[in-house]
Amino acid sequence: MWIFGYGSLVWKVDFKYDCKIVGYIKGYLRRFYQHSIDHRGVPEKPGRVVTLVQSDDPNSTVWGIAYKIKTEDVAQVTKHLDYREKNGYMRKTITFHPADMNHEPFQLTLYVATEENESYAGEASIEEIAQQVVSCHGPSGPNKEYVYNLAATMRKLVPDVKDDHLFELEAAVRRLDPDSKKT
């Protein structure tokens, strides 16, 4: 079994895996359109985390990491991720394209939050999302940390790939973040 990480799973891997491969999926966009009431916010003040939305361009790419799960670990990892991603995410199978051209594309599982789930936040301006992110904190820490960690990790993984939504949000959060101005 392979799992695709495109959000916190690219920098916060808390499950057993055999190996990992950097690559992308097609036809989607990474967006901060999902509320987080259990990790980066609370029910009274939900944070924002990423999900995938269908793109009008079938060649749009979302970069991340594919993790290979050993057969003997599949049940445990699936149970763990089903719990971790419980706030509106569901499993989906999709084709993954490894960055290393020596590997052929293959099917994997990812977790996606669709518009139908109760925690779907939907579209908002970068500034509105940034204001929400800066003001939210949950059991997993400040919402801004999620944005900063994801942006930094994506820059390291694929330095030539520009993720406009992610990097524009990161810049907007830094402008609003009083702690960011101290550095």
Rg (CA), the chain: 16
Structure token digits, residue 11:
């920098």
Count of beta carbons in the 10 Å neighbourhood of residue 145: 13
Of 114, 144, 116, 149, residue with least CA distance to 5 = 149
Report d(CA 46, CA 63) in Å as an integer.
26
CA dihedral 159, 162, 164, 169 (to 10 degrees): 0
Angle between helices 143-157 and 126-135 (to 10 degrees): 120
Largest CA distance in the chain: 48
Concerning whether 116 is annotated as a catalytic residue, the answer is no
Catalytic residue among 44, 85, 116, 168: 85
Q: Which helix (H) or strand (E) holds 173?
A: helix 164-176
Catalytic residues, which ones?
A: 85
